[in-house]
Amino acid sequence: MNINQSDIMKRFSEERRKYGTQEQLADAIGVNPKTISAFENCRRTPSLPTFIKMCTVIKADINYVVYGSNNNQDF
């Protein structure tokens, strides 16, 4: 199984757009909007707790964001 940060953040960004803007997410988790931009553009990598928090706030399925699938049987 190949996990690619660029693919993960592309899926994350798509899910985040359903939630709102980078600024709205940044406010919700207490970071600068530039930080969200840096994560989505793979200039920085969020820590695991931050990544989980971001996915939780936008109500994104972490399996989908990481693996591109919502089905655990695909792993």
pLDDT tens digit sequence for 46-58: 999 999 999 999 9
Q: SS3 string of the chain?
A: CCCCHHHHHHHHHHHHHHHCCHHHHHHHHCCCHHHHHHHHCCCCCCCHHHHHHHHHHHCCCHHHHHHCCCCHHHC
Q: Where are the domains of the chain?
A: 14-66
Write out pLDDT tens, residues 10-61.
Answer: 999 999 999 999 999 999 999 999 999 999 999 999 999 999 999 999 999 9
Task: Look up the CATH architecture of domain 14-66.
Answer: Orthogonal Bundle (1.10)
What pLDDT is attached to residue 72? Answer: 58
What pLDDT is attached to residue 7? Answer: 97
